[in-house]
Structures are given as structure tokens and as C-alpha cells.
Structure 1
């Protein structure tokens, strides 16, 4: 692989991870809970990406290119899981909004009041996730990420040359993993700079996150079904 090919692959990789998608949405959602959760979710995302990178370098991309039906099945499975994440996220956001409404009703019963005291943002109905829970959220979201499936199954395959030396293979893996790790962890930390605003709108973030996941799930399931039926 030439230096130009490596730089081209790196540019495509940066564009892929920076563009909004399920990984970024999940890190934002976890980061709304705590900085630790956001960072661990970012580490989970990159654990999944590292697996994709290593698997692709070891032949997964070529296998997916040669067997389109396998890619279609991955899209169906990933879409089903994204749908599950989406529904769970929407339910969590709606539960938080209902709790907030009950809290406002309890603190402001009907009848005149002499003064109004500013209210703190409502607490979430779910406790802050543990490091393991946040990591699993990022990891499983990445495995079901349609961008990851398509990127490594189609785009990445174009840069893998038969008979590449182990040195080049290791260099590419380390480069892509390091760049991805730097981006996702930096993004998770940046989310906390807006923690107050995010906390105030955590229920909306959950609902929007769920809607995005459900939309992506529908696209993945449709494309997977078309791939199987067309094959």
C-alpha cells in the first residue's frame, strides 16, 4: 500500500467517524449523564471499531464483498438491535418527561402563590450508568452501526491489498484506532462542556436519539431485506 493510499484511507476514516451517526449520538446520550459515562461509551465505540478494523484486515471485508448475502444479514441484525435501542431510548425519555410533569404539579399545586422559586432541572428516572454499562452501550451501538457495517464491508475493502505485509497491516490498524480513539474521547469530553444544557434537555435527547435509531433501523432492515431478496 502506497503512502497516498494510506493518506486517502485516513481521510475517509476521519470523515466517517466525525460525521453524525449512532456512535456520536450514543456518546452524547451517555455524556449527558456524566463525563465518566461519556468517556467509557467512547471507549466502547472504539473497542467495536478496533474489532471491525482488525477483522477487515484479516479478511472480513473481502468476505463481505464476495458474499453480499452476509452483509445483508448483518444489516438485518444490526437494524433490529438499533430498533431495540431506539424504542428503549424513547421510553426512557418519555418516562423522564412524565416524572418532570409530576414534580412540577406537586411543587405548584392549583391556587394562588405569593412567589415562585426557580426549579432545578428534574432528576433522571434512571441512575447514572456504571463504567461497564456505558462501555457496553457504546460497544453494542457500534456493532450495530450501519455506517460501520457499510464502511468496513465496502469502502475499507478497496484499500486492502492481497499479500500486504504484517508490518503495513499493523501500522494501518494502530493508525486508525489511535485517530478514532482521540476523536471519540475528545468528543465525549467536549459534551461535558455543555453538561448543564444537556442535563436540562436529557429527556429530549433520549427521545431524539431513539427516533434517529429507529429511522436508521428501518433503513438498515429495508436494505438488508432488499439484499436478501435481490440475491
Structure 2
């Protein structure tokens, strides 16, 4: 085990509490599951999980410290994330309902994986969170800090994947009923667009603290 086993109970408790707190990742998974179904949401969840692990590696390498001390680096990521979310919102607002009797044309697994990955990766709050949260559970006297933070990040990403997979299945079941009507389809697409707009506005209004 790359990190001190003694920190595991507290780390697991804190991680689970953080995962069940509503946030951008949860909103994205629910929107995808309701509008496209369980499988697309599961692929998006996998992308988010990989991005979480990527943030842990970046935090271990010191990128979180750079973002925390550089307004320019913070803004580049923040505006990039907002632009990507606005792009997704525009696609949702332009979508048209399916013709009655046709099946849902889901995005490819690669596309849904990429959407989840980019949505989380371009969230500067996720970078800062990993930079603050994970090092708290690293024990300098146990082993080098880098593998400890990476190991903890891998565990956090796995927990996130399990939680978001359950969320994907639940929201996908609801989506199957909602997609049976063209009117409900349009409502879902517009609602999904509003979710993306809200997440973009949240990023744009975010201020660097510290």
C-alpha cells in the first residue's frame, strides 16, 4: 500500500461525505443519464473518474500550488472549462426530438468518456480541491509524498466511479420513461442545456481564494 493504512478509515469517511454532496459532477451525470440513458452516463462517469485521478497526479506534481498562486493559470483553466460547457449547452439547445418509434441515438462511448473527462479536468476547483484535500492524509514519515498522494487519488477516483455508476443507473432508468415522448425529449434537452449553462456560470463567477 503506497500510503499509511492508519489514515484509511478517516480518508474513506471524508471521501464518501464529499462524493454524496451535490456538485457539478453529480449534475453532469444525472443530466447525461436522464437524457441519454444508463450506458452513456456510465461512460461519462468513467471519464470523470479518470480526470479525478489526473488531478491527484497533478497535485502530487505541484500543479495545484501553481494554480493556487497564479491568477493567470487559474483563469486559463476556468475560462476553458466554461467555454467547453457553453459548447455542450449550445448542442443541447439545438437538439431535435426523435421521430416516434425510433430508438435513441446515443453518443459513442469515446465521446461520452471525453465529455465527462473534460468537464471535470477543466474545473479549477477540482484541481485546488485535490491539492488541499489529498495531502492532508499523506504521512511524510511513512513514504515519499508523491506516491502517497497518487495512491490516495486513485482510491478517491475508484470511490467516485462506484458512486457515479450507481447514480448513472438510477438516472438512466428515469430517462427511459422521459424519452418515450418527443415533448419530454425536448424538455430534457433544454433542461440539460440549462444545467451546462449553470455550470459554466458557476465557473465564470468563481474567484480565486487565498
Is TM > 0.5 for Structure 1 vs Structure 2? yes
Which stretch shifts more, 41-50 or 11-20?
A: 11-20
1:83 aligns with 2:73: no
Partner residue, 2:22? 20
The Cα offsets for residues 97-123 of structure 1, whole Å up to 9 and x where unpaired, read as: xx6xxx7xxxxxxxxxxxxxxxx6x75
Partner residue, 1:148? 126
> Counterparts of 1:201-216 in structure 2 under 5 Å?
201-216=184-199
Mark the structure with the bigger radius of gyration.
1
1:35 aligns with 2:38: yes
Aligned residues: 202
**Structure 1 alignment gaps of length 5 or more:** 104-119
Taking a change above 3 Å as real, the CA distance of residues 57 and 30 of structure 1, as seen in their structure-2 partners, is: same
Partner Cα separation in structure 1 for residue 71 and residue 13 of structure 2: 26
> 1:146: how far off?
5.6
Taking a change above 3 Å as real, the CA distance of residues 207 and 46 of structure 1, as seen in their structure-2 partners, is: same
> 1:2: how far off?
7.3
Are 2:78 and 2:203, in contact at CA under 8 Å, matched by a contact in 1? yes
Query: Over aligned residue pairs, what C-alpha RMSD do you find?
Result: 3.3
**Structure 2 alignment gaps of length 5 or more:** none
**TM-score normalised according to structure 2 size:** 0.75
Are 1:82 and 1:214, in contact at CA under 8 Å, matched by a contact in 2? yes
Partner residue, 2:204? 221
> Counterparts of 1:121-200 in structure 2 under 5 Å?
127-145=105-123, 147-152=125-130, 155-156=133-134, 165=144, 166-200=146-180
Partner Cα separation in structure 2 for residue 20 and residue 123 of structure 1: 34
**TM-score normalised according to structure 1 size:** 0.69
Partner Cα separation in structure 2 for residue 73 and residue 170 of structure 1: 25
The Cα offsets for residues 124-179 of structure 1, whole Å up to 9 and x where unpaired, read as: 7x721121122112112222346424523555566667786255334312321221
